[in-house]
């Protein structure tokens, strides 16, 4: 399978999983806001959107493992940049919380990592052109 075929397959898998995520997220919010449930059911409903996210991760891992060595190297550098930068930002903000800054919502850590991964990917793509 060539790189464009791999990219098309990845986009299809990614978009399908993200669509399922959006639907699951909206459905879980609607259920939680409109139906009284016991606590265990609320836990299950609130965690349902995580299932499609697992499929997003599987799609990413499959695309990476099927990519050529240069793309894998670029992705590795982008992911390392993302992890280190996210760690530095959250670690730094932890000190700011000690002097009264509001708590950092942990729900934003994964989106921050993905955003920084994209920035790193763009940077390292240009570096290897």
What are the tens digits of pLDDT across the range 70-111? 999 999 999 999 999 999 999 999 999 999 999 999 999 999
Number of domains in the chain: 2
| Domain ranges, residue 74 | 68-129
Same domain, residue pair 16 and 40: yes
Residues 40 and 27 occupy one common structural domain: yes
Question: Per-residue pLDDT tens for 106-126?
Answer: 999 999 999 999 999 999 999
Residue 3 has pLDDT above 90, yes or no: no
Report CA dihedral (20, 22, 24, 30) to the nearest 10 degrees.
-150
On the CB side of 107, CA atoms within 13 Å amount to: 5
Q: Do 96 and 114 belong together in one domain?
A: yes
pLDDT at 129 over 90: no
Output the CA–CA distances (angstroms, integers) from residue 110 to 3, 17, 28, 32, 66, in the order listed.
27, 16, 19, 23, 24
Rounded CA separation 11/51 (Å): 18
- Output the pTM of the full model: 0.81
Specify the length of the chain in residues. Answer: 129
Residue pLDDT, tens place only, 14-60: 999 999 999 999 999 999 999 999 999 999 999 999 999 999 999 99
Write down the pLDDT at residue 1. Answer: 74
Last residue of a domain, one of 20, 52, 67: 67
d(C-alpha 42, C-alpha 59), whole Å: 28
User: Which DSSP letter does residue 58 get?
Assistant: H
């Amino acid at each position: 399978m060539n790189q464009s075929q791999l990219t098309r397959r990845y986009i299809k898998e990614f978009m399908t999983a993200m669509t399922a995520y959006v639907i699951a997220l909206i459905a879980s919010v609607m259920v939680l806001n409109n139906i009284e449930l016991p606590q265990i059911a609320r836990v299950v409903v609130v965690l349902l959107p995580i299932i499609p996210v697992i499929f997003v991760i599987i799609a990413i891992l499959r695309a990476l493992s099927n990519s050529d060595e240069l793309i894998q190297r670029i992705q590795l550098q982008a992911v390392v940049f993302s992890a280190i930068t996210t760690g530095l930002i959250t670690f730094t903000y932890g000190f700011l919380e000690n002097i009264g800054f509001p708590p950092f919502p942990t729900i934003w850590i994964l989106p921050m990592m993905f955003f920084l991964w994209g920035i790193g990917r763009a940077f390292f793509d240009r570096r290897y052109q």
